[in-house]
Amino acid sequence: MAHKFEIYKDKAGEFRVRFKYNSEVMFSTEGYTSRASAENAIESIKKNGPGAPVEDNS
């Protein structure tokens, strides 16, 4: 699978989510105190991301 979400613990012990495409990190989230919160972030991105507008600030 070329695309995937990855939950990991950072150096501070917080849970973070990375979105990868072909092993390249496309973005990562803020730190969460629980794995459940990180999982909720993934579900929110899946639900709300496809319809999100693009803001061009160039």
Ordered by where they begin, the domains of the chain are 3-48 (3.30.160.160)
Chain-centroid distance, C-alpha 55: 19
- What pTM value is reported for the model? 0.85
Own/partner contacts of 16-21, CB < 8 Å, gap of 24 or more, are 17/41, 17/42, 17/45, 19/45
The pLDDT assigned to 31 comes to: 98
Taking the alpha carbons at both ends of the chain, their separation in whole angstroms is: 33
The pLDDT assigned to 27 comes to: 95
The pLDDT assigned to 42 comes to: 97
15-42 pLDDT tens trace: 999 999 998 999 999 999 999 999 999 9
For 51, phi then psi, to 5°, come to -100, 5
Q: With contact defined as beta carbons under 8 Å apart, do 5 and 42 qualify? A: yes
